[in-house]
């Protein structure tokens, strides 16, 4: 009875399928696989241009070339319409480089299809890349501490100058390829701007200029404390005549005076000194300090009709004068 029911229950399945059906199922799957493979081989091709390849290294390795390279890939699929809808962003290509996969600074060739990790849409195959090989250069990562030097651009006015410059901090830690780091003994700041309006001390936060595209600095900024001072100079004016004050209504006269002129050394703002001609200076002695007639030595005094200019020395500092009653100076 049960056996009869089993026969009736399977009677709807054709006998050609019911007999040895497992082997026939495997054959069907294999046929589908062959069909898919053949359809892919005889499918349509399309070129996707400028697909990025990300080059990944460890912290101990520096890629001396660009971290992202671009290739053209030839893809194959069954539908031209679908291929036309694909773009570079639909593909992800990564090339991981181990620390022992290279000799420092020497070129290393990588077959893209063989060594890269490629993520692509289902049902799409990549048949070729252009270029087929990437040639890259790598180096070991190195780190060291170097001093930071301030760099300036522009100029102050001729009356001012840049004095002491203090950087906080005055050192930075740089990291980069070992082959490049060996030649770096210091780094500079980006230009600190000066102009004719710069007349006072100032602080300025400025970036450190990276000496090489693969070298980074930590910290990347410093505080520049810049001293600005007035620029002073000295100048000597010779043969300035000496005037005598205090003789009027005193009943005394100058019989003899030597010398009759002096040399005056002055200092002040350079631009002011350069346009002076000596008429701005006057030298004189005050005879009111003379208590007795005859020979006396009197200190020479000076007057300058200009601001920010001072007298440094007078040569000679004293004048010998002979006073009496009656005739004037000889």
Do 120 and 52 belong to one domain? yes
Identify the CATH number of the domain in which residue 54 sits: 2.170.120.30
Same domain, 245 and 215: no
In-domain check, residue 329: no
Q: Are residues 238 and 217 in the same domain?
A: no
Q: Are 242 and 261 in a shared domain?
A: yes
Closest CA to 106 of 67, 66, 73, 138: 138
pLDDT tens digit at each of 330 positions of the chain:
454 444 445 556 666 666 666 777 787 787 777 766 665 555 678 899 999 999 999 999 999 988 889 999 998 887 788 888 899 999 999 999 998 889 999 999 999 988 888 898 888 888 899 999 999 999 999 999 999 999 999 999 888 889 899 999 999 999 999 999 989 999 999 999 999 999 999 999 999 998 888 899 999 999 999 999 888 889 999 999 999 988 776 677 888 999 999 999 999 888 888 889 999 999 999 888 888 888 989 999 999 988 888 999 999 999 999 888 765 544
pLDDT digits (tens, 9 = 90+) for 256-269: 999 999 999 999 88
pLDDT in tens, 176-222: 999 999 899 999 999 999 999 999 999 999 999 988 888 999 999 99
Domain count, the chain: 4
Opening angle at CA 311, ends 234 and 265, nearest 5: 45
From the list 208, 222, 148, 211, the residue with the least C-alpha distance to 181 is 211
Task: Note whether 33 and 80 are same-domain residues.
Answer: no
- Give CA separation, 32 vs 35, 39, 51, 134, 167, in Å: 5, 10, 32, 37, 74
Contacts of 88 (CB under 8 A, 6+ apart): 48, 49, 50, 51, 52
Contacts of 8 (CB under 8 A, 6+ apart): none
Is there a domain that residue 330 lies in?
no
Residues 242 and 224 in one domain: no
132 and 171 assigned to the same domain: no
In a domain, 34, yes or no: yes
- Are residues 32 and 74 located together in one domain of the fold? no
User: β-strands 309-315, 261-269: how paired?
Assistant: antiparallel
The parent domain of residue 7 ranges over 2-40
**Same domain as 214, residue 185:** yes
Residue 287 lies in a domain: yes
Where would I find the beta strands (DSSP E) of 117-230?
117-119, 125-130, 133-149, 152-154, 160-168, 171-177, 187-188, 192-194, 202-207, 216-218, 221-230
The dihedrals phi and psi of 316, each to the nearest 5 degrees, come to: -75, 160
What pLDDT shows up at residue 36?
Answer: 64
Residue 145 lies in a domain: no
Q: Tell whether 249 and 301 lie within a shared domain.
A: yes
């Amino acid at each position: 009875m049960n056996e009869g029911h089993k026969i009736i229950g399977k009677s709807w399945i054709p006998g050609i399928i019911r007999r040895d059906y497992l082997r026939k199922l495997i054959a069907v799957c294999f046929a589908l696989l062959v069909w898919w493979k053949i359809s892919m081989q005889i499918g349509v091709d399309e070129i996707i241009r400028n697909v990025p390849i990300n080059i990944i290294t460890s912290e101990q390795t520096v890629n001396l070339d660009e971290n992202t390279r671009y290739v053209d890939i030839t893809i194959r699929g069954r539908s031209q319409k679908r291929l036309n809808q694909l773009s570079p962003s639909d593909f992800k290509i990564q090339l991981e480089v181990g620390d022992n996969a290279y000799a420092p600074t020497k070129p290393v060739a990588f077959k893209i299809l063989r060594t890269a990790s490629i993520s692509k849409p289902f049902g799409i195959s990549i048949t070729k890349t252009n270029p087929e090989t990437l040639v890259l250069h790598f180096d070991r990562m190195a780190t060291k501490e170097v001093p930071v030097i301030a760099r300036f651009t522009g100029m102050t006015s001729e009356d001012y100058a840049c004095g002491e410059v203090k950087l906080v901090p005055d050192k930075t830690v740089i990291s980069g390829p070992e082959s490049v780091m060996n030649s770096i003994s210091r780094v500079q700041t980006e230009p600190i701007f000066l102009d004719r309006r710069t007349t006072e001390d100032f602080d300025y936060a400025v970036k450190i200029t990276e000496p090489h595209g693969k070298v980074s600095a930590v910290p990347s900024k410093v505080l520049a404390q810049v001293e600005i001072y007035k620029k002073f100079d000295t100048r000597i004016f010779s043969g300035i005549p000496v005037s005598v004050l205090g003789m009027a209504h005193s009943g005394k006269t100058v019989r003899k005076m030597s010398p009759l002129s002096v040399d005056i050394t002055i200092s002040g703002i350079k631009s002011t000194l350069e346009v002076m001609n000596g008429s701005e200076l006057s030298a004189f002695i005050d005879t009111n300090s003379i208590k007795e007639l005859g020979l006396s030595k009197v200190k020479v005094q000076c007057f300058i009709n200009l601001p920010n200019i001072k007298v440094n020395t007078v040569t000679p500092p004293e004048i010998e004068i002979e006073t009496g009653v009656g005739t004037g100076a000889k």
